[in-house]
Amino acid sequence: MESHDARANTMKKEYKNMFRTGMLRRPRSHRAVGASVAFLVIVALFAGVWYVRAALDATLYFDPASSSVETGDDFVLDARIDPGSNSVNAVELHVTFDQTKLRLDDIDPSTGSFPTVVVEDIDNVNGTAELQVGITPGGDEVIADVLVAEFNFHALAEATDSEVAFTVNSEALDSGSPTVATRTSGTVTITDPDTTAPTIINVTSDKANGS
Tens of pLDDT along 40-87? 555 555 555 445 568 999 999 999 999 999 999 999 999 999 999 999
What pLDDT score was predicted for residue 33?
40
What pLDDT score was predicted for residue 14?
44
Amino acid at 164: V
What pLDDT score was predicted for residue 76?
98
- Rounded-to-integer distance, Cα 29 and Cα 42, Å: 18
Residues 6+ apart with CB under 8 A from 49: 175, 176
- Rounded-to-integer distance, Cα 19 and Cα 27, Å: 10
Q: Predicted confidence band at 205 (pLDDT cuts at 50, 70, 90)? A: low
Compute the average pLDDT of residues 94-105.
98
What pLDDT score was predicted for residue 168?
98
Of residues 196 and 82, the one with the higher pLDDT is 82
- Percentage of the chain exceeding pLDDT 90: 64
**Predicted TM-score (pTM) of this structure:** 0.73
88 pLDDT exceeds 50?
A: yes
- Give the CA distances from residue 140 to residues 64, 114, 115, 134, 171, in Å, rounded to whole numbers and listed in that order: 27, 9, 10, 10, 19
Q: Predicted confidence band at 210 (pLDDT cuts at 50, 70, 90)? A: low
What pLDDT score was predicted for residue 201?
73
Compute the average pLDDT of residues 115-124.
97
Radius of gyration of the chain (CA): 23
What pLDDT score was predicted for residue 131?
98
Q: Per-residue pLDDT tens for 157-179?
A: 999 999 999 999 999 999 899 99
| Sign of the alpha-carbon torsion through 163, 34, 107, 177 | positive
Of residues 181 and 23, the one with the higher pLDDT is 181
Of residues 100 and 198, the one with the higher pLDDT is 100
What rounded mean pLDDT belongs to the chain?
Answer: 82
